[in-house]
Structure 1
Amino acid sequence: MHWIALQWSLEAQAEAGAAAADAMPTPEALGWWALRYTPHVCWLDEALMLEVSACERLWGGRSSLMRQLLNENPAPAAALRGAQGATSLEALARLRLFVRDEKRPPEIPAGLPLDTLSAARGHLDALARLGCRSWGEVAALPRGGLSRRFGAELRAALDIAWGLRPESHAWLTLPDVFEQKLELPALAETAPELMWSANRLLSALQIWLRARQRGARALELEWTLDLKRFNGVNLPPTQQVAVRTAEPTQDLAHLRRLLSEKLALATLAAPASWLKLRSLETDPWAGASTSFLPEDNRKGDRLHEMVERLSVRLGAMQVLVPRARADHRAGHTQAWQPALRSVQPDRAAPPRARKEAQAEASQPDAIYPPWLLPQPLLLEMDGERPCYGGPLSRLIGPQRVEAGWWGGEEEGGQPAMRDYYVAESAEAGLLWIFRERPLARFSAGEVRWYLQGFYA
């Protein structure tokens, strides 16, 4: 067995100021970060313990592993201290000596000072009167008398230190869904105050995303209101804002900007006392691709990041993108939707209709014109021939379309039953026209012709 004990310096955080303490990840997040090096991680008193005997060779040995731990410190503003030992108690004791700037005794663990053993800290005065100031001197006392006088916990700790008893720990595990709660240092009355404390939760989220190899798509920040009534009005227990991204991301700076924009539009109904951040949707993380070409490494934000910030700042309905729709009708093959909404298939259409329309949408018909009219134009008739700058000659057709029967007004209104033709006009050139067929099979209604588009 081989253990590594890690501790983050509180003195360094105090010297760095409040900004460093704000960026310090939560204890749970620090444990998640350590899980990338070994599956055996636990908290023991003030130190984070890593058991690395089974995986240290994968990191190039103990010295190489210690260098990587120090270089990849998740809280760079806080100094990371580390020590090693054959047992968790020995590693923790050596870490405490390192923090106090004391030299290691020549004999380990017998020569370790007694105050570095957690199980003995409640009995230091009594053991000192017996002349015991080190682990070895206490271990030399009779087992029965030591257990009766000072309890079984001290004797069990000494057995673990000498390898006479196996260690048992509650190993940390990585949750399937990120959810962290944080008590605010003071009541927050404005959105910037919430954002100041939310940075710790975002740092924990980034560690969780990297450990899970996933990218965030949707997050929710919730705060607990400190008042139940305000100005005679009952208040909800919590308020929340949600943030969505167009693509999975692990970029902490981008998530912080999006959340800041969202909070800037929020109004706190009352002072807040707690914050909670949870992941609503995540996707597998494929990693970032790089290129040696300078034109591929442009500075500044990417397009989707700018669109996301504008959508949060201006409103989702103010930033729209076109979306292909699975529909045979030419005027309904495209729709506009908010840029932050993920593209979804037409749920209103039956599965068979969606499948057929998607198959046609994936292979657009070559005879479709490049210029479609916003609304079909009703054509005049010369007997039985439609006219547009003179009588039209039908060249190609008919292409029969029957669609729209599965939806209501939001899907385009009434069903369409049409026969499309490519026609030629002496003045306008090639046109795309259609004949509207009556709904009843044997109805004798008037046949109407429409102009749908032009060919260049």
Structure 2
Amino acid sequence: MHWIALRWSLESDSPDEAQPLPTPEALGWWALQYTPHVAWQDEALMLEVSACERLWGGRSSLMRQLAHENPAPDAVMRGAQGATSLIALARLRMFERGERRPKDIPAGLPLYTLSAACEHLDLLERLGCRTWGDVAALPRGGLTRRFGAALREALDVAWGLRPEGHSWLTLPDVFEQKLELPALAETAPELMWSANRLLTALQFWLRARQRGARALELQWTLDLKRFNGVNLPPHQQVTVRTAEPTQDMAHLRRLLSEKLALTTLAAPASWLRLRTLETDPWAGASTSFLPEDNRKGDKLHEMVERLSVRLGPQQVVVPVAQADHRPERKQAWRPALQKDKAPQDKSRKEAKETAKAKAAASQPDALYPPWLLPEPLLLEMDGERPCYRGPLSKLIGPQRVEAGWWGGKEDGGQPAMRDYYVAESPEAGLVWIFRERPSARFSPGEVRWYLQGFYA
């Protein structure tokens, strides 16, 4: 077996400006990409890599990879190796003190590097024991009776006479982490410093699970139960939603900052919790050699999400295709961050037909103009020819549309029985007109023409 011991420490001149360390669980999730055998032991993160070190090109290559992928860029990561977890941890403690490696391992290791011996150091030193080998040379029975079985068992593990037992870290199915704030937060933006630690942990979890975040909830615990004579709830929270699954923590951080900037704390907060409400499988980022696909700046959906948080979800809307052949009813507008819900009261066959109709309605039509009027304009007639800035000459058509007969007033529109034409106006150019067929709503001899769109 072969073990690697890792430990992080902040050594910045301005610790307040440095990014906080990820949570211990997050560091363990990061290490799971290198080996499935990861565990915390005292102050160090332990990795057992004997079964996978060849995949990384050997031990030296793996150590360089770990140093290059340091999950805490503002912290110093120190590492050491050993045949057992106790030896790797002891060498790490010596490395942090700047002490040289002894020639005889494990017998020559200093006694302070063995956790099981820390509470007996004074007595062992009076007995003349300075190293692991000195203690191991004592009679087994007397050592166990005087110092307990834990010290003797630790020495057996260090020499490989007893198997090691660890509680290996595993990934939870749902991300949820709670963090105590270093000081009471009186305003919502003050929560962001600690929220960054939770977002870093979320990023490691998403990468390990191959998931993308769609909805998050940031919740904080209020430190008061009553304020100014008003009973307070135990928690407050904000929810952030994205239009597409994402692993971009910078984008989620901006969304949370925008949301918290509009939030007022009912009382100082003492705890913070972040959890995922919804995640989707992560397909990864696609790349392209085309210049137009590699433009700098934010993506469109990211800008829409930030504007929705800043202005309100009802203020930013997007078009949605409808299962209708009437041009004025082919699309509707809904909030950009509102998720489509599957029909609950329809059979599977009806739902499938509706989906096909929506897909058909969303397909572009070569005859459709780029600009539609809010309401069709009734045209004047010159005999039997419709006029709009002069008599119109029909070029293409008719394209017959018969739709809306299944609905009523609740449908929001009128049944349509129309013949559409592309026509040319002497002054306005190409226009899109239609004729309502006499059998629709009028008497047999009455024909009405309408202008509905323009061609650029």
TM-score range, shorter chain: 0.7 to 0.9
Compared CA separation, residues 329 and 293, structure 1 to 2 (3 A): closer
Report if the CA contact (8 A) 1:329-1:403 is conserved: no
Deviation of 1:188 after TM superposition, in Å, equals: 0.5
What value does the CA root-mean-square deviation take over the aligned residues? 3.5
Structure 2 residue aligned with 1:421: 419
CA distance in 1, matches of 2:166, 2:403: 69
> In the superposition, relative to structure 1, how do residues 446 and 182 fare at CA in structure 2: closer, same or farther (>3 Å)?
farther
Written as runs of structure 1 = structure 2, the 5 A alignment for 1:252-401 is 252-291=249-288, 296-342=293-339, 350-351=350-351, 353-363=353-363, 372-376=372-376, 388-389=386-387, 396=398, 399-401=401-403
- Alignment pair present for 1:18 and 2:20: no
Q: Counterpart of 1:191 in structure 2: which amino acid?
A: A
Q: Verify: 1:126 aligned to 2:100, yes or no.
A: no
Number of the residue aligned with 1:66: 63
Give the Cα separation in 2 of the matches to 1:387 and 1:318: 43
Aligned AA (2:402): R
Q: In the alignment, what sits opposite 1:192?
A: 189
8 Å contact from structure 2 (residues 177, 273) kept in 1:
yes
Inter-CA distance 207–408: structure 2 relative to 1 (3 Å threshold): farther
Q: Indicate if the aligned counterparts of 1:420 and 1:434 stay in contact, CA closer than 8 A.
A: yes
Deviation for aligned residue 1:362? 4.8
- What per-residue deviation string (whole Å, max 9, x for no partner) do you get for residues 73-113 of structure 1? 11121111111000001101111111111112111111111
Local SS of the residue matching 1:9: strand
Cα offset, 1:298, TM superposition: 3.2
Structure 1 position 205, deviation (Å): 1.6
Q: Which shifted more, 338-347 or 279-288?
A: 338-347
State the alpha-carbon separation in 1 of the partners of residues 439 and 231 from structure 2. Answer: 60
For residue 204 of structure 2, the aligned residue among 204, 207, 231 is: 207
- Judge conservation of contact 1:215–1:284 (CA < 8 Å) in 2: yes
Relative distance call for 1:454 and 1:128 in structure 2 (3 A) is closer
Worse-superposed segment, 295-304 or 233-242 = 295-304
In the alignment, the residues of structure 1 paired with residue 160 and residue 184 of structure 2 have an alpha-carbon distance, to the nearest angstrom, of 49
Map 1:112-191 onto structure 2 (within 5 A): 112-191=109-188
Moved more, 429-438 or 266-275: 429-438
Helix, strand or coil: the match of 1:160?
A: helix
Q: Distance in 1 between matches of 2:96 and 2:199?
A: 29
Distance of 1:364 and 1:294 partners within structure 2? 26
Q: Deviations over 1:192-234 (max 9, x none)?
A: 2111221111122222222223222221111111111111111
CA distance in 2, matches of 1:8, 1:201: 17
Which of residues 29, 33, 36 is equivalent to 2:30?
33
Moved more, 348-357 or 260-269: 348-357
Secondary structure of residue in 1 paired with 2:309: helix
- Structure 1 CA distance for aligned equivalents of residues 422 and 161 of structure 2: 97
Alignment match, 2:81: 84
Can you give the 5+ residue segments of structure 2 that lack an aligned partner in the other structure?
Answer: none
Bigger shift: residues 289-298 or 303-312: 289-298
Q: Check whether the contact 2:324–2:403 (CA below 8 A) recurs between aligned residues.
A: no
- Which stretch of structure 1 is more off in the superposition, 195-204 or 56-65? 195-204
The whole-number CA distance in structure 2 between the counterparts of 1:435 and 1:354 is 27
Letter in 1 for 2:87: E
Contact 1:3 1:52 in 2 (8 A): yes
1:180/1:201 contact within 8 Å kept: yes
Q: Residues 133 and 445 (structure 1 numbering): CA distance in 2 closer, same or farther, change over 3 Å?
A: farther
Q: How far is 1:287 from its partner?
A: 3.0
Q: Distance in 1 between matches of 2:422 and 2:294?
A: 50
Query: Are the counterparts in 2 of residues 388 and 425 from structure 1 also a CA contact under 8 Å?
Result: no
Q: Which residue of 1 aligns with 2:4?
A: 4
Give the Cα–Cα distance (whole angstroms) in 1 for the partners of residues 344 and 356 of structure 2: 14
What does residue range 439-454 of structure 1 map to in structure 2 within 5 Å? 451=450, 453-454=452-453
Instruction: Name the aligned partner's letter for residue 173 of structure 2.
Output: D
Of residues 263-272 and 169-178 in structure 1, the stretch that sits farther from structure 2 once superposed is: 169-178
Q: SS at the partner of 1:31?
A: helix
Give the drift of 1:454.
4.9
**1:201-240 to 2 correspondences below 5 Å:** 201-240=198-237
Identity of aligned residues (%): 69
| In 1, Cα distance between equivalents of 2:74 and 2:432 | 70
Specify the code of the residue in structure 1 equivalent to 2:418. Answer: Y
Give the drift of 1:344.
Answer: 5.8
Counterpart Cα distance in 2 of 1:343 and 1:449: 39
2:434 maps to a residue whose letter is W
Instruction: Name the aligned partner's letter for residue 354 of structure 1.
Output: T
| Equivalent-residue separation in structure 2 for 1:41 and 1:73 (angstroms) | 16
Name the SS of the counterpart of 2:169 in structure 1: coil
Distance 2:397 2:251 in 1: 56
Q: 1:4 to 1:303 in 2, by over 3 A?
A: same
TM-score (norm 1): 0.86
Cα distance per residue 1:5-58 (max 9 Å; x no partner) = 001124x15x341232x4311111111111111110000000000000011111
Are the equivalent residues in 2 in contact too, given 1:16–1:77 (CA < 8 A)? no
Q: Which residue of structure 1 lines up, in the alignment, with residue 433 of structure 2?
A: 431
Q: Say whether the 8 Å CA contact 1:392–1:423 is kept in structure 2.
A: no
User: 1:96-150 deviations in whole A, cap 9, x for unaligned?
Assistant: 1111111121111111112211111122223233332221222222323322222
Give 5+ residue unaligned stretches, structure 1. Answer: none
Letter in 2 for 1:167: E
Contact 2:378 2:451 in 1 (8 A): no
Q: Deviations over 1:160-193 (max 9, x none)?
A: 1111111110001112222111111111001221
Q: Displacement of 1:388 after TM fit?
A: 4.7
Question: Using a 3 Å threshold, how does the CA distance of structure 1 residues 346 and 332 change in structure 2: closer, same or farther?
Answer: farther
| Structure 1 residues 391 and 219: alpha-carbon distance in aligned structure 2, compared to 1, 3 A threshold | closer
Aligned AA for 1:232? G
Q: How many residues in Structure 1 have an aligned counterpart in Structure 2?
A: 444
* Stretch deviating more after TM superposition (363-372 or 40-49): 363-372
Query: AA paired with 1:257?
Result: R
